[in-house]
Structure 1
């Protein structure tokens, strides 16, 4: 029995050679967490350039589209200046009031659908994508009702702030003919968000360029037949309606093309 115990103890003890190899070859120490975080990828330049290209593909057409939309307001202001100082003052005041109380509100409401549409498109949940677009139409149309009521009483509001009576009356007349543009904007902003969530930016830019390029002849045509403040306001409505029609045509044409591919 004593011999067996000695043999077992010898078997359990490591040999001198194994002990020396363990001393010579220690286990590699794992790098600290800070070193792992600060380690840059080898293809960093390629990664940055690739991300910058994606960013510019999205940002440049959107910036150009915003510039085109601002050009529409500049053209309208120029035609207002041809009508006289009173029309220019009243129309400019009406445009500022409309942008602050109307179009900016509708644009903010439409921007709420962008993250939902982006997630739905990424998950290929096209039913949710289309449902969000429809609900945005309804929401913006409902929001346009109190905005229109506010615009109908803009003369009283401006008089309370000490504005000239003639300028306030001209501004209210301008906003009266600009009310149909609320309906066009209630469709236009959701369509833009719907397409941008799918990374469709350049066709939207082309539609905006085409519609704004027709803004000058529309102003000339309406100024000849209507004249005055109504022609300038209705030309903006007509231009935005043209863009809505162009975007809808693009969406339906694209959908038909996908069906043919399937």
Structure 2
């Protein structure tokens, strides 16, 4: 470990401000395009819902439920399992084992495609599942029909997320942004043609959404195959079938870690529907979650940026540079969270009317604005710490932390405050914020106490164990 320690002294500069600017530039070069990519891809489903909303109220409800529950579940699982590549590809790239990136991506394709097959029954049997969660039969039946049509999207997810992590590790995020932007424009035109011009309704919406996700996959693959991605892609290899068991363990840990976070906030909306006045409660919480969802797009960008920076620097044996990157991105994201908090608080009496004409709903949203603003600040730091965990390979540890903080502490407190003590939505949300606060504190402590030299050594061992040396000798 003397080499990393020597590098640590070599990287120390007297001008801390200059170091911060250099690191910020590196982070924004990844985070900026990653944010736009997330927004563009998030907008595909949102635009579909907007178009379908002009077809009929039942159709809108069906598409909304399918997008948020069925496809949302699949999205979380696929994104989570694909996030294992942020650790492996990032560290391999930092270590100079470029050829292994393509092998890792192929391993992830194998695992995610098999996982997609396991998820297909959820799509097929979605009507009884939705009814079990309290949906009416007419909405559940139509959502179930739409879910069957959306099965191709599930397999697009399985290919897309490994591709994106593969490109992110090489900092080729502009490619993803351009492809997603072009597809978004195509999606708007295609949706208008199929849903309105041809009058195909939900069937047209399904074709447009499926085709758009597959265009994203083909566009990114086209770039990789044509450019060979600077030797990171050298064609299909039998090495993809090596070390699959350990790869599956890391993929599952990544999926559990992220899904526990996604589902935690989804539960908030489900519980709101069980309150005394569910229509007002659900409408109000949905407006808040809509705004929160857009801020999450920014958080995803920072999550991607810090996981790439940490994994690259650990793989390269630069532990102190990784540590400094964590500090810079944490301060940057907290600052943006504070800006969002100020905007929410200063416009709390006005912004609800952008989403509703009901004064009763708007009043409820205003009451929730304080909790929303505080959640925005937490959302500035928490995803960054999750990104650090992904970059360092701590997914299993964070999964345990999430279970304890979210479901053993936060959720029970929220149920008590919301139902037992009649604080309603504010009580449920307050309890769940308590879980996020506890998780954030623990992750801050873990990150602060981390031996970054040891993490760099483990990254080197991980690259060797999972085929890096073998690939170079091949």
TM-score (norm 1): 0.79
Structure number with larger C-alpha Rg: 1
Comparing 57-66 and 224-233, the one that deviates more = 224-233
Q: CA deviation at 1:228?
A: 2.1
Tell whether 2:92 aligns with 1:120.
yes
Q: CA deviation at 1:128?
A: 2.1
Note closer, same or farther for the CA distance 1:89–1:123 as it changes in structure 2 (3 Å cut).
same
TM-score (norm 2): 0.45
> Corresponding residue for 1:228?
201
Alignment length (residue pairs):
220
Q: CA deviation at 1:162?
A: 2.7
Task: Structure 1 unaligned segments of length 5 or more: list them.
Answer: 1-39
> Corresponding residue for 2:363?
none
Note closer, same or farther for the CA distance 1:125–1:227 as it changes in structure 2 (3 Å cut).
same
RMSD: 1.9
Note closer, same or farther for the CA distance 1:128–1:215 as it changes in structure 2 (3 Å cut).
same
Tell whether 2:15 aligns with 1:43.
yes
Which of the residues 45, 49, 55 maps onto 1:73?
45
> Corresponding residue for 1:23?
none
Q: Distance in 2 between matches of 1:98 and 1:126?
A: 36
Report the secondary structure of 2:99's partner residue: helix
Report the secondary structure of 1:42's partner residue: coil
Q: Distance in 2 between matches of 1:55 and 1:159?
A: 45
> Corresponding residue for 2:181?
209
CA contact (8 A) 2:160 2:217 kept: yes
Which of the residues 86, 89, 96 maps onto 2:68?
96
Tell whether 2:101 aligns with 1:129.
yes
Note closer, same or farther for the CA distance 1:257–1:52 as it changes in structure 2 (3 Å cut).
closer
Q: Write the mapping of 1:159-198 to structure 2, written as runs, cut at 5 A.
A: 159-198=131-170
Note closer, same or farther for the CA distance 1:182–1:109 as it changes in structure 2 (3 Å cut).
same
Q: CA deviation at 1:234?
A: 2.0
Cα deviation, 1:185-220, whole Å, max 9, x if unaligned, reads: 111111100000011111111111011110011112
Report the secondary structure of 2:66's partner residue: helix
Q: CA deviation at 1:160?
A: 2.0
Which of the residues 127, 130, 133 maps onto 1:155?
127
Q: CA deviation at 1:99?
A: 3.7
Report the secondary structure of 2:103's partner residue: helix
Q: Distance in 2 between matches of 1:125 and 1:226?
A: 52
CA contact (8 A) 1:69 1:208 kept: yes
> Corresponding residue for 1:200?
172
Report the secondary structure of 2:20's partner residue: helix
CA contact (8 A) 2:70 2:122 kept: no
